[in-house]
Amino acid sequence: KDYDSALYGRLFHKAMEKSFYLNQIEDFINDEFGTELKDGRISEKLLQRLQNDLINFSRSKTFSFIFQAENFKNEFEIYVADKDYFLHGIIDKIIFKENKILIYDYKTDDIEKKEIKKHSEYYLMQLKFYLYIASKLFSEFDTFEGSLVFVKHPDDIVTLDYDSSKLKEMEKEITDIINSIKMKNSEKNMKHCRVCSFS
């Protein structure tokens, strides 16, 4: 790639933390990142890519739905005490709607539409973890829904939906993973070998 994907991800998430309108994107980018551009910390090409992606995303149905939310938090940081450890996560966007919590996790992977299903598999456990810690913090809610939003294809979201009975299953899955980490047990995931950057 001709750009730093980690830096790009940081810029996109920083942009989504703020509120902006479609006709303000160019001014918004100049205000937020103009200094870093002048200092040479960000390239003009990277900012152009960011601008194009923000325009594309802000024209989507997904953005329209998210933007209309009244009760929400961006870049919401959660610490939760669970058993004998703490769990921590930063959720890109969390929306509180009646008896339901909606979580949106933005992914800046530069992928084609046909690759969404494959790439979403890398992130589903992270999304489950966010749903789990949100359910611990906001136990008064009945339903928890999490969505992966690939910004290149914002209306092709991947969604997980959990009610209280399903949350119990997820709790066991996450607890087993945490116990494995604490016991320093790690199983080989051979299915991942074909996409591993070290293979």
Predicted local confidence at residue 198, as pLDDT? 81
Residue 77 has φ and ψ, to the nearest 5°, of -95, 130
Task: Please list the rounded mean pLDDT of every run of 10 residues in the chain (199 residues).
Answer: 76 85 82 82 87 92 93 95 93 95 95 92 93 94 96 96 88 91 86 76
